[in-house]
Amino acid sequence: MMQVTALLFASYAEHLGRDAVSLELPDGATVDDVLRHLAALPGGDRLPPEPLVAVNLEYAARGHALAPGDEVAVIPPIAGG
Amino acid sequence: MMQVTALLFASYAEHLGRDAVSLELPDGATVDDVLRHLAALPGGDRLPPEPLVAVNLEYAARGHALAPGDEVAVIPPIAGG
Amino acid sequence: MRSAIVTHVLDPAALLAEVSAARHGAAVVFVGTVREVNDGRAVTGIEYRAYAPMAERELATIIHEAAARSGGADIVAEHRMGRLGLEEASVVIAVAHPHRAPAFDAARYVIEELKRRVPIWKREEYVDGTREWVDPTAARTPESVAGPPRAG
Amino acid sequence: MRSAIVTHVLDPAALLAEVSAARHGAAVVFVGTVREVNDGRAVTGIEYRAYAPMAERELATIIHEAAARSGGADIVAEHRMGRLGLEEASVVIAVAHPHRAPAFDAARYVIEELKRRVPIWKREEYVDGTREWVDPTAARTPESVAGPPRAG
């Protein structure tokens, strides 16, 4: 097992009522597993099925394999500028 | 006959050693006639055969017919900015 | 080359001065400001939030990409966070280059990529007191349909 | 909408402030400056001259064309005359528009048309003390071969 941190921002943080979630995942878990865990939380049904995700500050695909301590950011539609 | 003023600038003014020339031209004279007169002045051979010309602050073609009092500017290659 | 996510008031003239140099013949400054209307709704202010460490990293990557593509641009970019009132600058990008075409292109590249890739969000406040996170992917205006990047 | 041929030091921040308004969401400022090298020769300064009444008229026409094409840009442009040292600004164009793409396009349009149509000349001064009127139509750099307008 390993521990990773999921970060939530803006509208996503409001949907789930928090901006960070600690998750215990089996070795070999991927970004997809994090998204499934988040979707199962109260308010998680309001996350889109395929949000943008970054692992340790870099955009990552859903199949990206995680390592212990990874920071997985679930990124709402970007609206800078 | 009518009188028009030819204006010279930058390198053209240096070629002819002056920045304005008063010309007496026959009625119906055109920009082309002004250019011929200027070419015949000392240093006038250093003007290009087809310089850019403006009449009364507007670009004009060589065949443009002049009126008494017109200001005919002979415009060297533009280099603003 | 410098970029930052900041909380202070932006100063376009200072950023212009920062990129200016005798080897350059052209400078382009882009300033994004809070507009009083968005999608037909009267806006009173905007709150900006970022995933700051990633935003700083991504913005730095973008200005280095732009400088490399331009062949010699100096670029400084700052994006402000927090609550901004009407007309306040949210982003300033200053580019200087020996020639004007690459200066324009680099400034344009930075703002377009910033809007596509830098994790920043904004919550608009409306005259009726309500506020809402802006979702450009859901917007009705044709100019805002370009989506965010999909990682590979 | 304002344009002028001036002899004072240009102030990009003042021109930016002049076009800024709550209806705009983007501003682009272009600044042309005296570069230390041109066509491989070391430059120490540039003297700008204009056929002032025509230059003012042509520049005014250009910014109104740009504003009309952009659908709602506010534009201010100033070109400085006289002797300028290295790094000094010879021209500043400030554009504000509700959206960024038309702001960029309008700024680009004004500087390109200015260089094509506004009767301004420059005499470069070189380190060896010589000086020369610049003829972009005779220049060796590929970027400067576009010729001036032919009147119809």
Q: Does C135 touch chain A (CB under 8 A)?
A: yes
Mean of the pLDDT values across residues C15-35?
Answer: 98
Q: Indicate whether this model's pTM tops 0.90.
A: yes
Query: Does residue D49 sit at the B interface (CB-CB below 8 Å)?
Result: yes
> CA end-to-end span of chain C, whole Å?
28
Q: pLDDT band at C146, cuts 50/70/90? A: very low
Q: Please indicate whether, in this complex, the C-beta atoms of D55 and B80 are within 8 angstroms of each other.
A: yes
If interface means Cβ-Cβ distance under 8 Å, which residues of chain D face chain C? 12-13, 16, 20-37, 86-87, 98-101, 103-104, 107-108, 111, 143
pLDDT at D139: 56
Answer yes or no: are the C-beta atoms of C34 and C84 closer than 8 Å. yes
Does the beta carbon of D80 lie under 8 angstroms from any beta carbon of chain B? no
Any chains having at least 3 CB pairs less than 8 A from chain A are C
Q: Which residue in C has a C-alpha nearest to residue A15's C-alpha?
A: C133
| Residues facing D76 on adjacent strands | D2, D94
pLDDT exceeds cutoff 50 at C124: yes
Q: How far is C2 from chain A (nearest CA, A)?
A: 17
pLDDT of amino acid C138: 84
Tell me what ipTM this predicted complex has.
Answer: 0.93
Q: What count of other Cβ atoms lies within 10 Å of the Cβ of residue B25?
A: 18
Is it the case that residue D142 has pLDDT exceeding 80? no
Cα C95 to Cα B74, C10, D16, D17, distances in angstroms: 37, 16, 16, 19
Contacts of A60 in chain C (CB under 8 A): 151
Selected for mutation to probe chain D from B14, B58, B78 (highest D CB count within 10 Å) is: B78
pLDDT (tens digit, 9 = 90+) per residue, C73-106?
Answer: 999 999 999 999 999 999 999 999 999 999 999 9
Instruction: Select from C20, C24, C31 the Cβ nearest to the Cβ of D27.
Output: C31
Mutate to test the interface with B, among D134, D141, D144 (most CBs of B within 10 A): D134
What averages of pLDDT result for each successive group of 10 residues across chain B (81 residues)?
A: 97 98 97 98 96 98 98 98 96
Cβ contact C16–D21 (<8 Å): no
Beta bridge partners of A6: A21, A72
Q: Band of the pLDDT at C150, cuts 50, 70, 90?
A: low
Q: Does C109 touch chain A (CB under 8 A)?
A: no
Distance CA B62, CA C4 (A): 57
**Per-residue pLDDT reduced to its tens digit, A45-65:** 999 999 999 999 999 999 999
Q: How far apart are CA D132 and CA D119, in angstroms?
A: 17
Q: How confident is the model at residue C139 (pLDDT cuts 50, 70, 90)?
A: low
What is the reported pLDDT for D39? 87
What is the model's pLDDT at position C39?
87
Instruction: Give me the total of CB pairs closer than 8 Å, taking one residue from chain C and one from chain D.
Output: 99
**CB–CB contact D30 C86 (8 Å):** no
**Does residue C144 register a pLDDT over 80?**
no
Label each residue of D39-107 as H, E or C: CCEEEEEEEEEECHHHHHHHHHHHHHHHHHHHCCCEEEEEEECEEEECCCEEEEEEEEECCHHHHHHHH
